[in-house]
Amino acid sequence: MAFNQCESCQEKISQKQRWASAFFSYRPIVCQECGASHHIEPRSRIKGSMFVVFFPLFLAIFLTSGGEGRPYELILTYLPLALLGMLYTVHTVNYRMMNDGEKEGGRR
């Protein structure tokens, strides 16, 4: 099931917040009510890059024969496909609330 509310206070997480997160390579979603931060699950992140980057890119390369001499064609084909992939992943990826101890980038 898709992530749609804060694990801590049950505040609803808006569609807009999920899209904003997806656009910034799945940055953590911070609850506007209690400030709890939710990180995307590693499995969902992999799924996200598959559907937003790899599949659309391969399909676009295939459809335009590598965009030979016309790279804009490749890009114009890729973008709508990537958007579709993003539409799909935004609705299916999962986030998990993280305690301070397990925050990403905490280790050096």
> By the criterion CB under 5 A, which residues form the site for Zn ion?
6, 8-9, 11, 31, 33-34, 36
Q: Which of 33, 76 has the CB closer to Zn ion?
A: 33
Minimum CB separation from Zn ion for residue 71, in Å? 44
Q: How far apart are CA 48 and CA 30, in angstroms?
A: 19
CB atoms within 10 A of CB 34: 12
Strand pairing partners for 96? 39
Q: Which of 31, 74 has the CB closer to Zn ion?
A: 31
Minimum CB separation from Zn ion for residue 31, in Å? 3
Minimum CB separation from Zn ion for residue 46, in Å? 26
